[in-house]
Amino acid sequence: MHKDELLELHEQMVTIKDYFASLEDTDAGLFDPYEELDVTPDDVHKSKSEHKHAVFVLGNALATAMSEDEFSDAGRVGKRMKELAEDAERKL
């Protein structure tokens, strides 16, 4: 995936995050790990690897927000996103 495509994906995922963050039943701290990265789609000067890591961290949080438990489809996606985020972080 090219960096511009990754930035577009990141931007769309942030839109979905904002929706879930606006819901009353969403855990208030769910997106804290993503926010602590301080990497947004507007940060075009940040590396592709940093954006990739942010997308995986955000994907994990979004899957958690959508999952009923760790064995649901979204729960399994969340677990895989966490693994990918950890792998991407090691490569930073």
- Separation of alpha carbons 62 and 18, rounded Å: 10
Q: What is the pLDDT of residues 23-56, one digit of tens each?
A: 888 898 999 999 999 999 999 999 999 999 999 9
CATH number of the domain that residue 47 is part of: 1.20.1270.110
Token pair for 22: 């606006």
Share of the chain above pLDDT 90, in %: 68
- Separation of alpha carbons 87 and 66, rounded Å: 23
Domain count, the chain: 1
Where does the pLDDT of residue 68 fall: very low under 50, low under 70, confident under 90, or very high at 90 and above? Answer: low
In this prediction, residue 92 carries a pLDDT of 86
In this prediction, residue 75 carries a pLDDT of 73
Q: Which domain holds residue 55?
A: 3-90
pTM for the model stands at 0.81
In this prediction, residue 28 carries a pLDDT of 87
Residue with tokens 């693994």: 83
